Amino acid sequence: MSCSASPGPRSPWSSRWGAWLALRFRFGYDRSIAESAYSGLFHAVSAFNNAGFGLHVDSITPYAQDPWVTLPIALAVILGGLGFPVLLELMRHRTRRRLTGRRTWTLHTRMTLLTTAALLLTGTVFTCLLEWTNAGTLGPFDWDEKLLNGFFHSAMSRTAGFNAVDIGAMHASTLLMTCTLMFIGGGSAGTAGGIKVTTFAVLAAAIWAEVRGEPNSTVMGRRLAPHVLRQALTVALLAVGLVIAATLALLTVSSAPMEAVLFEAVSAFGTVGLSTGITADFPDSGRLVLILLMFVGRLGPVTLVSALALRERTRRYQLPEERPVIG
């Protein structure tokens, strides 16, 4: 179904995916040249920008069993969701490696790539496990088609918005897993929404350091600055509070099940656009809540981190230290 958009520019990758999709629509579905070209470019740009707008009310469901359509769209979504700093570094890396013979990725790029891969794999595995026998989603497909659509759903949950199966027919457990992926989102300074994968990775590193009793949080041989941990914690907790408040507001104006309402709220915050099909049933007040969520979800994390960075200052004194009881 058509979805909320995260704005972004066209890119060379969009043109390449668009040309591939246009050829597939032309020769695989016997469409006219003009229709194939327009449809291919539209879906490629929409995918790379993590917008999720489709030309049909059923989104990508007619192509659920066609890897020549779903895989290019999924790859375009993943590429666009990495974030422009990572894409720029990857392009520069090709030239730098030819000159120096060494791989010199920054910590941000390594964290983004590793966390993205881990989340894609986790989403694929859990989607397949939870929906393997569901007659309304993956059940009717062959095993290879189930894996394909499990991967596609995992990629789309990263704020892309296309759907190849009926979201409303998914189990509540799958919706909760999808909410987690949508809440995390994609890479920083890109077309994706959510709290961003680096925020999630920083929080995971802090938890791991605390469990091991280490004084500092480290990632890939680098120590994370304390202010980075505070920024990540602030963004995550404010986002949780915002989603909970929006969910409570939506529950007061709707009789839909809580898991469906929570899904709509997280999808709006992450500017994903996936829906269980209950959005049209919300009154005007409920739709206004979703609109505000999309706006805050698109600009909120970026604005908040920028404001925190600008307000950072060094104290000339230290208060006495005391440790309250935790847990």
Residue 6 predicted with pLDDT over 90: no
Residue 57: alpha-carbon gap to chain centroid: 22
Question: Considering just the CA atoms, what is the radius of gyration of the chain in Å?
Answer: 21
Give the span between the Cα atoms of 128 and 64, in whole angstroms.
14
Residue 65 predicted with pLDDT over 60: yes
Cβ neighbours of 189 (radius 10 Å)? 16
3-state secondary structure 153-193: HHHHCCCCCCCCCCHHHCCHHHHHHHHHHHHHCCCCCCCCC
Query: What pLDDT score was predicted for residue 8?
Result: 44
Residue 3 banded pLDDT, cuts 50, 70, 90: very low
- % of the chain at pLDDT higher than 70: 87
Query: What pLDDT score was predicted for residue 20?
Result: 83
Q: Are 49 and 271 in contact (CB under 8 A)?
A: no
Residue 296 predicted with pLDDT over 90: no
Report which secondary-structure segment, H or E, holds 218: strand 218-219
Give the span between the Cα atoms of 284 and 316, in whole angstroms.
51
Query: What pLDDT score was predicted for residue 52?
Result: 80
